[in-house]
Structure 1
Amino acid sequence: MGPCLSRSETAKRRRPKPNPFRSTSVAGGRNPSTRRQDVVFQDHELAAAAVAILCQRKLQSGGGSGDGTTSSDSSALASTLQLFRSTTRRNHQLSPRSLSSTARSPDLLPPSQQLTSEELCVDGLEASHFVLVHGGGFGAWCWYKTISLLEVAGFRVTALDLSGSGVHSFDTNCVTSLCQYVKPLTDFLDQLADGQKVILVGHDSGGACISYAMELFSSKVSRAIFIAAAMLTNGQSTLDMFSQNQTKENDLMMQAQRFIYGDCKSSKPTAIDLDKSFLRDLLFNQSPAKDVSLAAVSMRPIPFSPILEKLTLSDAKYGSIRRFYIETPEDNAIPISLQQTMIDQSPPEKVYHLKGADHSPFFSKPQSLHKILVEVARIPSKTS
């Protein structure tokens, strides 16, 4: 999400405590197109997924707390799931307003567009390991539908929590650089064996994060997919790009954002929080109510410093990686006009138009998003 810097529109807030929700971070997933049938994730399935995710994170870290999980995870998870269930029983009235009068259409793909058994085979692909990078305020938890679909299709999936996001225990207000913010991603790529390649997927400001990683680890990235994401040029910051957003959605963002001043020694903001009463209209205007409820109890403030940093991107490294962009036409956070500006300024290999998708297609169009991800993974390698 692009911040709109207007001090008159901001309010000082106390430094928030990290959100207690213990989110989705998995290593281990079906169906662009348009119309909507949600993967039906019942409460018990969400609970089971969350528990499995936490257990896996602990196993990966050797049971330590350095990964951001703590001994209070179980109680925090239980309390959050209880809140999640109670919230969804209330017809979900986070905001009575709606910027879109268009009813959500089912994400059900016709038989002719559904993936065949051959398309679901991952053998022989240049890369069959997806690394999912969330956007500002989100966490790895937001990918739970995408993770399940890709794993069912035979892909390996890793969804990471960036520093101060999701279950990562670092204080958001203490994230002072892009390097620090993306450290979980760069650490992961650094540990990949030589010759092993992954498909990077970035959402929202996660686009700048994967771009940063692409420059550092170009030999380990097969291709990159930007989903309603910041796809920047050399010398550009996320703020530079998002400041070009001069639309009616810009007003909504300005109303929603609240700057946090977590450093008493500085007058500069340390993070941006979003007023929960605006979440549905801004980020989830086409998404199911249950997913909006999940986000409402899971989202954390957005570190401010990383969006100010200008990227250094070279043709030899970043430019050598195949890029793909997925447009979200019903997006009220990064409007389609701004997405197309980024595409024009730094053209990717191919652009997909995900009809009916809001800013969070992993919620609003999970099947259609999945089909695009698989299609990109199956594009043949370029011959040298």
Structure 2
Amino acid sequence: MGNGLICMPKRDLRGGVGSRSKRTSNSRSQRKTVSEEELLHRQALAMAIQQHQLSQRFNGSMSRRIGSTSSRRRDLPDSITNGRQVPASLENLETKKIVLVHGEGFGAWCWYKTISLLEEAGLHPVALDLTGSGIDHTDTNSITTLADYTKPLINYLQDLPEDDKVILVGHSCGGASISYALEHFSKKITKAVFLSATMVQDGQRPFDVFSGELESADVFLQKSQFLVYNNGRDKSPTGLVLDKQQIKCLYFNQSPSKDISLAAVSMRPIPLAPIMEKLSLTPENYGSVRRYFVQTLDDHMLSADIQEKLVRENPPHGVYKIKGSDHCLFFSKPQSLNKILLEIAQLS
């Protein structure tokens, strides 16, 4: 998967005089490293539990918000304002509700930095667990359609008061979920923001977005060692589980170690059926909502070239670029992401 990256641990192949003492020293160092890693994982687990408790408190969701943007492209530097100084223009917005939709394997917990920054700015973010994700205990192997997978988002939109509107933000394969929502609830959505996401066209599958990075669908399904066949090897695969080291290479090549550990204890298997399903999108519904795409320029999961292709083939209203961000910009560049969302929120 990805760009064929393989992460291998470094080895010291030297020997000779003093090698025993070196091995003893190395073993102590390894024990220390293991101890530090265990502590890190415990801290990350505590963080995950805290975020899950927050999710339960808010009915499995947390609040957020966005707006609209111009068609100009922007390259953002590393350090950006943290959103604590609330511009007067944020007080008179079309909506302050921003719904954050995670990507494959993630959950509402991945947005904890973004939620905090948006709330400090006076917006109302809501992060949802899609079916079989986060603290939703549905067996991922039982999810057979994109509608099933996206149901928590659909339920949220259905329950909105008649005059309420929201901004949708989707990450990675969450782009398919917000595209599905745009087609069915366009009247309740003011804008949609795709974060290095599957911004598919009519008749396209989310998997097709990654086909340039992977092999063809048929070859991938035949060869992949990460597939789960819950219904038997003679049936279609039902899920996808990635090796932790591979996930680190593909998703978190610029993310802090604590966030990587948080992901290690929180990520769930990926239901395969939703990303293999073709979407039906119309100009009257999907096409009536303003879309914005945020490109991550140091992304090993969805390369800059593939992201550029998405933008070129399905042009959004505006494009932003973040330098030095891996696939998970909410971890690697949260301040830059917050800056973009606040700017989009002020556009009409």
Question: Which TM-score tier does this pair reach, normalised by the shorter chain?
Answer: 0.7 to 0.9
Gaps of 5+ in 1: 5-42, 62-66, 68-105, 248-253
Q: Is 1:245 aligned to 2:213, yes or no?
A: yes
Q: Which moves more between the two structures, 217-226 or 255-264?
A: 255-264
> Aligned residue for 2:95?
127
> What letter is aligned with 2:264?
A
> Aligned residue for 2:201?
233
1:136-147 mapped onto 2 (5 Å cutoff): 136-147=104-115
> Aligned residue for 2:17?
none
Q: Is 1:108 aligned to 2:79, yes or no?
A: yes
SS in 1 for 2:163: coil
TM-aligned CA deviation for residue 241 of structure 1: 2.3
Q: Is 1:215 aligned to 2:215, yes or no?
A: no
In the alignment, which of 310, 313, 321 is matched to residue 342 of structure 1? Answer: 310
In the alignment, which of 340, 356, 363 is matched to residue 331 of structure 2? Answer: 363
Q: Which moves more between the two structures, 262-271 or 158-167?
A: 262-271
> What letter is aligned with 1:239?
F
1:157-306 mapped onto 2 (5 Å cutoff): 157-245=125-213, 258-264=226-232, 266-306=234-274
What is the rounded CA distance, in whole Å, between the counterparts of 1:188 and 1:274 in structure 2? 30
> What letter is aligned with 2:102?
H
> Aligned residue for 1:54?
53
Q: In proportion to residue count, which structure has more helix?
A: 2
What is the rounded CA distance, in whole Å, between the counterparts of 2:223 and 2:126 in structure 1? 34
**Cα 1:59–1:375 shift into 2, 3 Å:** closer
> What letter is aligned with 1:233?
Q
What is the rounded CA distance, in whole Å, between the counterparts of 1:361 and 1:313 in structure 2? 27
SS in 2 for 1:363: helix
What is the rounded CA distance, in whole Å, between the counterparts of 2:330 and 2:83 in structure 1? 18
Gaps of 5+ in 2: 5-41, 62-76, 216-221
1:74-85 mapped onto 2 (5 Å cutoff): none
- Alpha carbon RMSD of aligned pairs, Å? 3.1
Contact 2:254 2:332 in 1 (8 A): yes
TM-aligned CA deviation for residue 108 of structure 1: 2.6
Q: Deviations over 1:186-205 (max 9, x none)?
A: 00000001121101000000
> Aligned residue for 1:330?
298
Q: Deviations over 1:312-361 (max 9, x none)?
A: 11111110100000000110111111111110011001100011100000
**Cα 1:118–1:323 shift into 2, 3 Å:** same
> What letter is aligned with 1:326?
V
TM-aligned CA deviation for residue 244 of structure 1: 2.6
What is the rounded CA distance, in whole Å, between the counterparts of 1:373 and 1:317 in structure 2? 23
Question: 4+ residue stretches of structure 1 with deviation over 4 A?
Answer: 1-4, 43-50, 113-116, 254-257
**Cα 1:56–1:347 shift into 2, 3 Å:** closer
What is the rounded CA distance, in whole Å, between the counterparts of 1:266 and 1:207 in structure 2? 30
SS in 2 for 1:208: helix
**Cα 1:279–1:265 shift into 2, 3 Å:** closer
Q: Deviations over 1:145-180 (max 9, x none)?
A: 001111111111110111111110100011011000
> Aligned residue for 1:79?
none
The structure number with the bigger radius of gyration is: 2
> What letter is aligned with 1:268?
S
**Cα 1:124–1:240 shift into 2, 3 Å:** same
What is the rounded CA distance, in whole Å, between the counterparts of 2:142 and 2:286 in structure 1? 28
Contact 1:121 1:154 in 2 (8 A): no
> Aligned residue for 2:345?
377
Contact 1:121 1:153 in 2 (8 A): no
Q: Deviations over 1:202-222 (max 9, x none)?
A: 000000110000100000001
Q: Is 1:317 aligned to 2:285, yes or no?
A: yes
> What letter is aligned with 2:318?
K
Contact 2:44 2:262 in 1 (8 A): no
Contact 1:3 1:243 in 2 (8 A): no
Contact 1:257 1:272 in 2 (8 A): no
**Cα 1:240–1:159 shift into 2, 3 Å:** same
TM-aligned CA deviation for residue 45 of structure 1: 10
